[in-house]
């Protein structure tokens, strides 16, 4: 009964003003899938992608994807970006952009309407692994001069509460220790190792900046996805012998390897 | 000083409003001055379930906008002296709720009541956000299904990171789990998650499981909170849950399937 007068009053109270901001900018980290092209002959690309996506449709649905050209950048053969795009889109993936191509390839990509991603976010351009351990030791020796160096304390981040669906925790330049459970739909990310002492049911991404020596340690593995330095396995690719076990996960010959304790 | 308790879930239709009404009545029966606040702007139905829709004159938004004072908007429940409700507005304008307005209303209710129960709308939009923002305690209503549990988990994450208590680094919101529409027979047949499954996933203390029951629908059609029913299992389950909420340690009565004997089938129970 009061509806109309209430709405009018509300409108009168809030005139459009130029000083009311239309947006805000925030830094954020998105975990992307990297699609690394291994050859320029793309006759079977659509078919193979289709098969891969079908193995874990839920995981891939609308997932952001970066097309990485490191392995083919030496090639002078032109790439069919339009064909790549339509294969990627028809699998419901969101192509964010292209990176690490030759100048000619990137120009072609741009002409096909794609965005170019800066190299600095990719692991080839970033020696994340070595700089992580280097800064670790230098902070250690520096501590001799200064009492209780706060820098050395920040090499792991500890989370005491459960990490719930929709939440994300990121340990930048450090390890991540979680003394509770990680729910399905939650994401825990570290540039270093990840330790989970409750159930690991969400996604765990270690070595997020390319440290291939990073590991994931967990007491009970039920993860939706595990990833080390960009190499990953989804739940469908985790063998049943290691499910619900206490395990460590590491990279061996560029393969995500799960080992029972 | 009242405690502010949000009843929330993420999903619609799980039993939040039923639970808000039952807790309001249950706390009032125990002698606590209690008010139930309907945050479901545009879709109010708490007043219907509590049988006082015909007495709604002013609502939440009228108070925020200064058209009425809080005492004009509060409606006393028919059957109980200690129980009041603050109805939601029928306006479609969801922006009518403002943080300052909600805070002003909750702070003034805090002065006069022992418990302020906030019945959250579904989803994680404005109304749901305001319903949980000022909470001291939360009752998470969940149905024994994977999707409902997932939504509740998400809400627990929001309580732990977006509420006033978390933003201002105060002691965290006290969390309680209430399983609604629980059907022990379907759990036994494997069609529903069990209490143990849900507790394993959410890992918060259990107030109780309220069985799926016709009595709930009948009570809300008559506008009588189900705890006043006196002879239904759902009413008893809510009464137990309220007692546990107040710190009593009671055994759980309705978790497991019991095949009904001839007499109980004949006479109902
Ligand atoms: N224990 C129960 N047994 C049977 N029906 C129930 C039970 N709890 C709730 N309901 C019914 O489910 C529907 C949704 O309940 P409601 O409390 O309005 O949910 P919400 O507020 O979460 O949307 C209503 O029709 C209600 O009567
Ligand atoms: Mg409701």
Whole-angstrom CA distances from A169 to A139, A214, B143, B157, B240 are 24, 17, 28, 12, 38
Residue A22 or B139, more confident: B139
| Strand pairing category for A225-228 and A255-260 | unpaired
Position A33 scores a pLDDT of 82
> Does the Cβ of B212 fall within 6 Å of ligand 1?
yes
Please give the average per-residue pLDDT across B61-86, as a whole number. Answer: 92
B11, B142, B147, B216: residue to mutate for ligand 1 pocket, most atoms within 8 A of CB:
B216
Position B206 scores a pLDDT of 95
Please give the average per-residue pLDDT across B85-92, as a whole number. Answer: 84
B11, B13, B39, B40: residue to mutate for ligand 1 pocket, most atoms within 8 A of CB:
B13
Q: Which atom of ligand 1 is nearest to the CA of B212?
A: 3
Residues in A closer than 8 angstroms to B174, CB to CB, are none
Residue B262 or A127, more confident: B262
Residues in B closer than 8 angstroms to A3, CB to CB, are 89-93
Rounded Cα–Cα distance for residues A47 and A67 (Å): 17
For residue B190, what are the contacts with CB-CB under 8 A and spacing of at least 6? none
Distance from CA of B239 to the nearest CA of A (A): 30
pLDDT digit string, tens, across residues B40-51: 887 778 888 888
Which range of A45-54, B86-95, B105-114 scores highest in mean pLDDT? It is B105-114
Place A34 in a pLDDT band, splitting at 50, 70 and 90: confident
Inform me whether the pLDDT recorded for B258 exceeds 70: no
Least confident segment among A107-111, B80-84, B137-141, B228-232: B228-232
Q: How remote is the C-alpha of B85 from its chain's centroid?
A: 13
CB pair distance less than 8 Å for B201 and A183: yes
Both structure tokens of A249: 């996960």
Inform me whether the pLDDT recorded for B202 exceeds 90: yes
Please give the average per-residue pLDDT across A21-46, as a whole number. Answer: 80
pLDDT digit string, tens, across residues B164-199: 999 999 999 999 999 999 988 888 888 889 999 999
CB pair distance less than 8 Å for B61 and A183: no
Inform me whether the pLDDT recorded for A138 exceeds 60: no
What's the whole-model pTM score?
0.71
Distance from CA of B222 to the nearest CA of A (A): 25
State the DSSP string of B206-240.
Answer: EEEEEEP-HHHHHHHHHT--GGGSSS-HHHHHHHH
* Å from CA of A245 to ligand 2 middle: 41
Position B261 scores a pLDDT of 55
Q: Nearest-CA neighbor of A123 among A42, A202, A20, A210?
A: A210
pLDDT digit string, tens, across residues A208-261: 999 999 999 999 999 999 999 999 998 888 888 999 999 999 999 999 999 998
Distance from CA of A199 to the nearest CA of B (A): 9
Inform me whether the pLDDT recorded for B14 exceeds 80: yes
Position A18 scores a pLDDT of 73
Residue B237's SS3 state is helix
Inform me whether the pLDDT recorded for A128 exceeds 50: no
Q: Which atom of ligand 1 is nearest to the CA of B45?
A: 18
Both structure tokens of A28: 């954020």
Sign of the Cα torsion B148, B150, B152, B158 reads: negative
Nearest to B96 among A6, A161, A162 (CB): A6
> Does the Cβ of B14 fall within 6 Å of ligand 1?
yes
Inter-chain contacts counted by CB atoms under 8 A, chains A and B:
61
CB pair distance less than 8 Å for A3 and B62: no
Which ligand minimizes its atom distance to the CA of B221? 1
Find, in chain B, the residue whose alpha carbon is nearest to that of A184: B150
B-facing residues of A in 147-166 (CB < 8 A) are 161-166
Rounded Cα–Cα distance for residues B228 and B176 (Å): 23
CB pair distance less than 8 Å for A166 and B90: no
For residue B57, what are the contacts with CB-CB under 8 A and spacing of at least 6? B68, B72, B73
> Does the Cβ of B31 fall within 6 Å of ligand 1?
no
Q: Which residue has 């925790």 as its token pair? A: A169
Burial class (CB in 10 A: 0-12, 13-18, 19+), B145: middle
Take atom 9 of ligand 1 and give the residue whose Cα is closest: B15
Take atom 10 of ligand 1 and give the residue whose Cα is closest: B15
Please give the average per-residue pLDDT across B57-73, as a whole number. Answer: 91
pLDDT digit string, tens, across residues B126-154: 889 999 999 999 999 999 999 999 999 99
Place B115 in a pLDDT band, splitting at 50, 70 and 90: very high
Please give the average per-residue pLDDT across B104-119, as a whole number. Answer: 96
Find, in chain B, the residue whose alpha carbon is nearest to that of A180: B203
Q: Which atom of ligand 1 is nearest to the CA of B180?
A: 1
Rounded Cα–Cα distance for residues A243 and B151 (Å): 24
Percent of chain A with pLDDT over 70: 78
Distance from CA of B188 to the nearest CA of A (A): 24
CB pair distance less than 8 Å for B154 and A164: yes
Inform me whether the pLDDT recorded for A153 exceeds 50: no
Please give the average per-residue pLDDT across B237-260, as a whole number. Answer: 87
CB pair distance less than 8 Å for B157 and A186: yes
CB pair distance less than 8 Å for A2 and B91: yes
Position B168 scores a pLDDT of 94
Both structure tokens of A209: 């900046």
CB pair distance less than 8 Å for A167 and B67: no
Task: Give residue ranges of B with CB < 8 Å to any A CB.
Answer: 58-59, 61-62, 65, 67, 89-93, 95-96, 150, 153-154, 156-158, 160-161, 172, 201, 203
Residues in A closer than 8 angstroms to B156, CB to CB, are 162, 164
CB pair distance less than 8 Å for B154 and A166: yes
Q: Chain-wide mean pLDDT for chain A?
A: 79
Rounded Cα–Cα distance for residues B148 and A219 (Å): 26
Position B160 scores a pLDDT of 93
Please give the average per-residue pLDDT across A147-163, as a whole number. Answer: 68
């Amino acid at each position: 009964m009061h509806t109309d007068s209430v709405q009018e009053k509300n409108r009168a109270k809030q005139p459009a003003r130029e000083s009311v901001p239309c947006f805000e900018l925030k830094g954020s980290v998105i975990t992307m899938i990297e699609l690394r092209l291994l050859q320029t002959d793309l006759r079977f690309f659509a078919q193979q992608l289709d098969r891969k996506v079908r193995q874990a449709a839920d995981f891939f649905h609308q997932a952001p994807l970066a097309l990485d050209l490191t392995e083919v950048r030496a090639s002078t053969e032109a790439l069919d970006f339009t064909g790549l795009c339509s294969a990627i889109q028809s699998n419901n993936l969101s192509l964010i952009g292209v990176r690490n191509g030759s100048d000619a390839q990137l120009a072609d990509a741009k002409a096909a309407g794609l965005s170019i991603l800066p190299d600095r976010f990719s692991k080839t351009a970033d020696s994340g692994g070595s700089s992580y351990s280097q800064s670790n030791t230098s902070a250690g020796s520096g501590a001799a001069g200064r009492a209780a160096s706060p820098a050395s304390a920040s090499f792991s981040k500890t989370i005491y509460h459960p990490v719930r669906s929709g939440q994300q925790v990121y340990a930048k330049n450090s390890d991540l220790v979680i003394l509770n459970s990680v729910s399905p739909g939650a994401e825990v990310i570290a540039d270093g190792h990840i330790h989970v002492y409750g159930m690991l049911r969400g996604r765990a991404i270690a070595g997020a900046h390319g440290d291939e020596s990073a590991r994931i340690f967990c007491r009970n593995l039920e993860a939706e996805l595990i990833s080390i330095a960009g190499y990953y396995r989804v739940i469908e690719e985790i063998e049943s012998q290691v499910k619900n076990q206490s395990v460590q996960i590491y990279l061996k010959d560029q393969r995500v390897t799960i080992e029972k304790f | 000083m009242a405690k502010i308790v949000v009843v929330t879930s993420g999903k619609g239709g799980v039993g939040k409003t039923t639970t808000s009404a039952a807790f309001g009545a249950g706390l009032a029966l125990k002698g606590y001055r209690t008010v139930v606040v309907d945050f479901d702007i545009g879709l109010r139905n708490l007043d219907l379930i509590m049988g006082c829709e015909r007495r709604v004159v002013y609502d939440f938004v009228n108070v925020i906008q200064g058209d009425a004072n809080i005492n004009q908007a509060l409606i006393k429940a028919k059957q109980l002296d200690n129980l009041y409700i603050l109805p939601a507005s029928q306006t479609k304008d969801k922006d009518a709720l403002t943080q300052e307005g909600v805070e002003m209303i909750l702070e003034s209710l805090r002065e006069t009541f022992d418990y302020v129960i906030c019945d959250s709308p579904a989803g994680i939009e404005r109304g749901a956000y305001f319903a949980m923002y000022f909470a001291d305690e939360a009752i998470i209503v969940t149905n024994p299904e994977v999707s409902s549990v997932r939504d509740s988990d998400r809400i627990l994450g929001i309580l732990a990171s977006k509420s006033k208590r978390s933003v201002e680094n105060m002691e965290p919101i006290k969390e309680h789990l209430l399983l609604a529409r629980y059907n022990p027979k379907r759990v036994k047949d494997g069609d529903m998650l069990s209490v143990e499954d849900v507790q394993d996933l959410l890992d918060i203390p259990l107030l109780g499981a309220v069985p799926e029951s016709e009595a709930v629908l009948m009570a809300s059609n008559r506008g009588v909170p189900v705890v006043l029913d006196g002879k239904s299992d759902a009413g008893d389950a809510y009464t137990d849950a309220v007692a546990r909420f107040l710190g009593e340690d009671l055994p759980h009565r309705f978790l497991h399937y019991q095949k009904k004997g001839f007499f109980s089938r004949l006479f109902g129970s």
